[in-house]
């Protein structure tokens, strides 16, 4: 039997994540956001593709990872 509840929950979490990414892209246009699904890591890159921040999204969340990334830039 399919785990519909679990699948819907995952889709809902992914939708929220992508909405947060769109919000952050609108605020910080110089950064690209990549989510590595195999490692469940959020990775921030600058325009030159240099890895500058890595955080476990399932424990800390995308906004915390981005805040850490932006704090390094200040």
Q: What is the pTM of this model?
A: 0.30
pLDDT in tens, the chain (74 residues): 456 666 777 777 777 777 777 766 665 544 445 555 555 555 555 444 444 444 444 455 666 666 666 666 54
**Three-state secondary structure along 5-70?**
HHHHHHHHHHHHHHHHHHHHHHHCCCCEEEEECCCCEEEEECCCCCEEEEEEHHHHCHHHHHHHHH
Instruction: Give 34's contacts (C-beta < 8 A, 6+ positions apart).
Output: 42, 43, 44, 45
Question: Considering its fold, how many domains does the chain have in total?
Answer: 1
């Amino acid at each position: 039997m399919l785990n519909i509840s679990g699948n819907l929950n995952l889709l809902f979490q992914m939708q929220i994540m992508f909405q947060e990414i769109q919000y952050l892209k609108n605020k910080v246009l110089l950064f690209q956001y990549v989510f590595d699904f195999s490692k469940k890591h959020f990775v921030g890159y600058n325009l030159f593709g240099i890895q500058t921040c890595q955080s476990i999204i399932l424990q800390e969340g995308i906004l915390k990872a981005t805040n850490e990334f932006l704090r390094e830039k200040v």
